[in-house]
Amino acid sequence: MEAMLTRHGGRALQRLLTADEQAYCRSKARPAQHVATRVAAKEAAFKALQRAGDAAHVSWLHIEVRSDEDGQPALCFNGPAADAARRLGATGSMVTLSHSIDTAIAMVVLTAR
């Protein structure tokens, strides 16, 4: 991720992250680690949404990783991602993020009432 950010900088961030996500990552001492975890979470969300059939219309910017005031991560689905989640009957989601210097992982679970 660091190499990609060095090579493509802001252009890569604009394709992968919303403005709020970019600001969050840039505020950190090692932005690449936080970019990597958000990309991992979005990839996990894509996989969870694939059962909706046309999740191929979902872009990186239709899924946003936010943090609440306690730092707890949450997903926000917009546009085609929100539509796909509704078709699956999902009423919420859970996301967990973790990273080290050279690894980032995330897991997403869609929930229903």
Q: What is the pLDDT of residues 6-33, one digit of tens each?
A: 788 788 899 999 999 999 999 999 999 9
Is the per-residue pLDDT at 53 higher than 80? Answer: no
Which amino acid is located at 57 in the chain? H
Residue 41 binned pLDDT confidence (cut-offs 50, 70, 90): very high
Half-sphere exposure (Cβ direction) of 36: Cα atoms closer than 13 Å: 17
Task: State the pLDDT at residue 56.
Answer: 67
Chain-wide mean pLDDT for the chain?
91
Position 55 confidence tier, pLDDT thresholds 50, 70, 90: low
CATH of 2-111, one of 2.40.160.20, 1.20.1260.10, 3.30.2350.10, 3.90.470.20: 3.90.470.20
